[in-house]
Amino acid sequence: MTAAQLPGDRSRGLAMRWRFLVPLLVALLLVDGFPLVYALVGSFQRFLLSGADLSRPFIGLENYTSFLGSDAFGNAAWNTIVLSVSVVTLETVIAFGLALLLTLPGLRFRGIYLLILMVPLLLSPVAVGLSWRLILHPDLGILNWVLGLAGIPKMAWLADANLALPTIIAVDVWHETAVLVLMFYAGLSALPREPLEAARVDGAGAIRSLVHMTIPLMAPIIVVAVLIRLVSAVKTYDLVYILTRGGPGTATETLSFLIWRTGLAGPLDIGQAAAGSIVLLIAIVFLTVLLLRATDRIGAA
Amino acid sequence: MVRSSSRSGSARRLVAGALSVALVAGMAGSSVAVAQDQPYAGTTLNILMEDLTETQYIADLLPEFEAQTGIKVVFELVPYSNMYEKLVPQLSGPEGSGSYDVVAVDYYWPGEFARSGWMLPLDEWIARDAVDLSGIIPASFDVNGRVDGQTYYIPYYPYPMGIVYRTDLGIEIPETMDEFVEYAKSLKTDEIYGLAMQGAPTDPIAMEWLNFLFANGGDLYAEDLKTPAVNDEIGQKALAQYLDLIDNAAQTGAAGANLDDASATFAEGRAAMMVTYVTIFAGLFQNPDVSAVVDLWDVAPMPGTHQGNVGVWSFGVPKSAKSPDAAWEFVKWVTSEPVARARALKGGSPIYGAFYSDPEILALFPYLSKAAEILGAGKGLPLITKQQDLVATLGRELSEAASKRKSPQEALDAIAAKLAELADE
Question: Does the residue B1 lie in any domain?
Answer: no
Q: What is the per-residue pLDDT for B16? A: 38
Residue B255 and residue B171 share a domain: yes
CA of A235 vs chain B CAs: smallest distance (Å): 20
Q: How confident is the model at residue A29 (pLDDT cuts 50, 70, 90)?
A: confident
Which are the contacts of A96, defined by CB distance < 8 A and separation ≥ 6?
A180, A184, A218, A222
Residue B326 and residue B264 share a domain: no
Domain region containing B287: 160-309+384-423
Residue B169 and residue B211 share a domain: yes
Residue in A with minimal Cα distance to B384: A51
Inter-chain touch A247–B399, beta carbons under 8 Å: yes
CA of A178 vs chain B CAs: smallest distance (Å): 29
pLDDT tens-digit series, residues A161-181? 999 999 999 999 999 999 999
Q: How confident is the model at residue A9 (pLDDT cuts 50, 70, 90)?
A: low
The one-letter amino acid code at B243 reads L
Residues composing chain B:
425
Question: Does the residue B2 lie in any domain?
Answer: no
Residue B292 and residue B264 share a domain: yes
Inter-chain touch A50–B88, beta carbons under 8 Å: yes
Residue B274 and residue B320 share a domain: no
Phi, psi angles (nearest 5°) of residue A139:
-95, -40
Question: Does the residue B378 lie in any domain?
Answer: no
Give the A:B interface size as CB pairs under 8 Å. 122
pLDDT of residue A273 exceeding 80, the answer is yes
Fold observed for domain A23-300? MetI-like fold (1.10.3720)
Nearest to B392 among A156, A248, A265 (CB): A265
ipTM entry: 0.84
Is the CB of A159 inside 8 Å of chain B's CB atoms? yes
pLDDT tens-digit series, residues A185-233? 999 998 888 877 788 788 777 888 888 888 888 988 898 899 889 999 9
Q: How confident is the model at residue A3 (pLDDT cuts 50, 70, 90)?
A: very low
Residue B151 and residue B120 share a domain: yes
Of the candidates B243, B236, B246, the residue with the CA atom closest to the CA atom of residue B410: B236
Is the CB of A50 inside 8 Å of chain B's CB atoms? yes
pLDDT of residue A278 exceeding 90, the answer is yes
Residue B279 and residue B202 share a domain: yes
Residue B388 and residue B292 share a domain: yes
d(CA B414, CA B401): 11
Is the CB of A126 inside 8 Å of chain B's CB atoms? no
Residue B389 and residue B244 share a domain: yes
Residue B181 and residue B302 share a domain: yes
Is the CB of A71 inside 8 Å of chain B's CB atoms? no
Q: Which CATH number covers residue B211?
A: 3.40.190.10
Inter-chain touch A249–B264, beta carbons under 8 Å: no
Residue B276: which H helix or E strand, with range?
A: strand B271-277
Question: Does the residue B353 lie in any domain?
Answer: yes
- Ramachandran category for residue B165: left, alpha or beta (phi over 0 → left; psi -120 to 50 → alpha): beta
Inter-chain touch B85–A158, beta carbons under 8 Å: no
- Ramachandran category for residue B120: left, alpha or beta (phi over 0 → left; psi -120 to 50 → alpha): beta
Which are the contacts of A258, defined by CB distance < 8 A and separation ≥ 6?
A72, A73, A76, A246, A276
Nearest to A54 among B116, B257, B401 (CB): B116
Residue B199 and residue B68 share a domain: no
Residue B366 and residue B221 share a domain: no
Tens of pLDDT along chain B (425 residues)?
A: 434 433 333 333 333 333 344 444 444 444 444 445 789 999 999 999 999 899 999 999 999 999 999 999 999 999 898 999 999 999 998 898 889 999 999 999 999 999 999 999 999 999 999 999 999 999 899 999 999 999 999 999 999 999 999 999 999 999 999 999 999 999 999 999 999 999 998 899 999 999 999 999 999 999 988 999 999 999 999 999 999 999 999 999 999 999 999 999 999 999 999 999 999 998 899 999 999 999 999 999 999 999 999 999 999 999 999 999 999 999 999 999 999 999 999 999 999 999 999 999 999 999 999 999 999 888 888 889 999 999 999 999 999 999 999 999 999 999 999 999 999 87
Instruction: Give chain B's domain count.
Output: 2
Give the β-pairing of B153-166 and B310-316: antiparallel
Q: What is the per-residue pLDDT for B36? A: 56
d(CA B379, CA B236): 20
Inter-chain touch B392–A244, beta carbons under 8 Å: no
